Amino acid sequence: MRAPADDAPRFEALFGRPSRVRVRAPGRVNLIGEHTDYNGGFVLPMAIPQQTEVELAPREDRKVRAFSANLGAAGKVDEYELGQEKRGRGWLDYVQGVTYVLREAGLTVGGFDLWLRSDVPLGSGLSSSAALEVALLRGLREAFGLTLDDVRIALLGQKVECDFVGAPVGVMDQMASSLAHGSAALFLDTRSLQFERVPLPAGVEPIVINSGVTHSHSGGDYRVRRAECERAAKLLGVEQLRDLPDQDLPRALALPEPLGRRVRHVLTENARVLATVQALRSGDLAALGPLLYASHASQRDDYEVSVPEIDLLVDLARSEPDVLGARLTGGGFGGSVVMLARTGSGAAAAARIATRYDKQATHRATVLVPQSTPAP
Ligand code: GLA
């Protein structure tokens, strides 16, 4: 989806009646814990202010008629018949995926008219697709009285990606969109799905900057990383890399290249999530920066999911005294950088970093958090 366009028609103008349900779901930024979720490990995402908004009303028949306001006045209502979902229709695949997984799960919905709009930028590593899935599932829960709790909504959203869209993702993004809110981070054990909300200490605030380099998880690189982890786990005789004790790292490093480095990233990243949670709980701000920078180096060198533009943003963060640390967030190969800054300094620091990036890179940076950016 493109950026929201204000000239797009509203629900009532399109469908000739008011909507019955109106819900939202946020995008997410992951503070730390990258590529650990499909290895059964730990993650620490937060909701961001950017959201996907859904309006819908049930129909008498089995048609789904859907409109994305992000396409503006030129957008068209797309439609399909429930039970006839077919992949390959762009953003409509996420809508079709939702009705597909609901049916597979034995949950019945009828046809509906749907209007949606999102200001989570696509391909920015901030889970625009999870926000859409969770918002639509929330809307359908309300409109059709489905018995679904928020964890089940997240699991169904993940199935949309894995079983319909064809992106073999972990569960972090949908759990974050469905369960994170406010300024607390969601400390999640992706194996047990146990979670706890961990507030940021008053002294720090997040910065999120989109590098303008877009990525896609249905593309090959993400899939290759996941397959490498599965192969390493098999060779090491564990079900998932989560199960590998730290003292077995030397054994992992003896595996054929690059498997050892992939394992080292996952083991050290899991430990960094736990250390970050500890530092947040105890208000140990000094510990946070080194953890974020170490996570970035591990993603860049061991997991090899960074790109030069992202490395540049992280380097620019180092010259800001009030920025404690920075790292690539999300699936990688482009997307966004998350930073932690001293409270009150984030907006100005982010604006300076973006300005310097725009001079040095061929892409343009967008500051997404904090939302209002004063002149540097
Ligand atoms: C994407 C996936 C998540 C997770 C991250 C990397 O965002 O959707 O499940 O694997 O990449 O941490």
CATH classification of the domain holding 129:
3.30.230.10
Assess whether 211 and 190 both reside in one domain. Answer: no
Question: What is the domain range of residue 341?
Answer: 202-369
Q: How many domains does the chain have?
A: 2
Give domain status of residue 326, yes or no: yes
Give domain status of residue 144, yes or no: yes
Assess whether 108 and 169 both reside in one domain. Answer: yes
Assess whether 27 and 73 both reside in one domain. Answer: yes
Q: Is ligand 1 within 6 A of the CB of residue 170? A: yes
Quote the pLDDT of residue 372.
73
Q: Is ligand 1 within 6 A of the CB of residue 35? A: yes
CA of 91 from ligand 1 middle (Å) equals 19
- Centre a 10 Å sphere on the Cβ of residue 93 and count the other Cβ atoms it contains: 21
CA of 77 from ligand 1 middle (Å) equals 31
Give domain status of residue 4, yes or no: no
Give domain status of residue 3, yes or no: no
Assess whether 214 and 339 both reside in one domain. Answer: yes
37 is known as an active-site residue: no
Which of ligand 1's atoms lies nearest the C-alpha of 170? 9
Of 35, 229, 262, 310, the residue with max ligand 1 atoms within 8 A of its CB, to mutate for a pocket test, comes to 35
Give domain status of residue 2, yes or no: no
Assess whether 211 and 354 both reside in one domain. Answer: yes
Q: Is ligand 1 within 6 A of the CB of residue 53? A: no
Write down which residue in 151, 178, 196 finishes a domain. 196
Assess whether 259 and 112 both reside in one domain. Answer: no
Assess whether 153 and 20 both reside in one domain. Answer: yes
Q: Is ligand 1 within 6 A of the CB of residue 173? A: yes
Q: 279: phi > 0 → left, psi -120 to 50 → alpha, else beta; which?
A: alpha
CATH of the domain at 286: 3.30.70.890
Catalytic residue among 37, 93, 173, 302: 173
Which of ligand 1's atoms lies nearest the C-alpha of 33? 12
Quote the pLDDT of residue 5.
64
Helix or strand run (H / E) with residue 325:
strand 323-329
Give domain status of residue 374, yes or no: no
Assess whether 288 and 159 both reside in one domain. Answer: no
Strands 204-210, 366-369: pairing is: antiparallel
Q: Is ligand 1 within 6 A of the CB of residue 331? A: yes
Q: What burial letters (b/e) apply to 287-296, b meaning 16+ CB within 10 Å? A: bbbebbbbbb
pTM for this predicted structure: 0.96
Write down which residue in 180, 196, 212 finishes a domain. 196
CA of 332 from ligand 1 middle (Å) equals 9
Assess whether 179 and 323 both reside in one domain. Answer: no
What distance in Å separates the CA atoms of residue 321 and residue 301, rounded to the nearest whole number? 25
Write down which residue in 178, 196, 214 finishes a domain. 196
* Total number of residues shown for the chain: 376
Give domain status of residue 159, yes or no: yes
Give domain status of residue 238, yes or no: yes
Assess whether 234 and 119 both reside in one domain. Answer: no
CA of 358 from ligand 1 middle (Å) equals 27
What distance in Å separates the CA atoms of residue 150 and residue 195, rounded to the nearest whole number? 12
Q: Is ligand 1 within 6 A of the CB of residue 169? A: yes
Tell me the per-residue pLDDT of 95-139, one tens digit each, with 9 for 90 and over.
999 999 999 999 999 999 999 999 999 999 999 999 999 999 999
Q: How far apart are the first and last CA of the chain?
A: 30
CA of 338 from ligand 1 middle (Å) equals 15
Assess whether 178 and 206 both reside in one domain. Answer: no
Q: Is ligand 1 within 6 A of the CB of residue 37? A: yes
Give me the residues of the chain with pLDDT under 50, please. 1, 373-376
Quote the pLDDT of residue 329.
98
Assess whether 51 and 33 both reside in one domain. Answer: yes
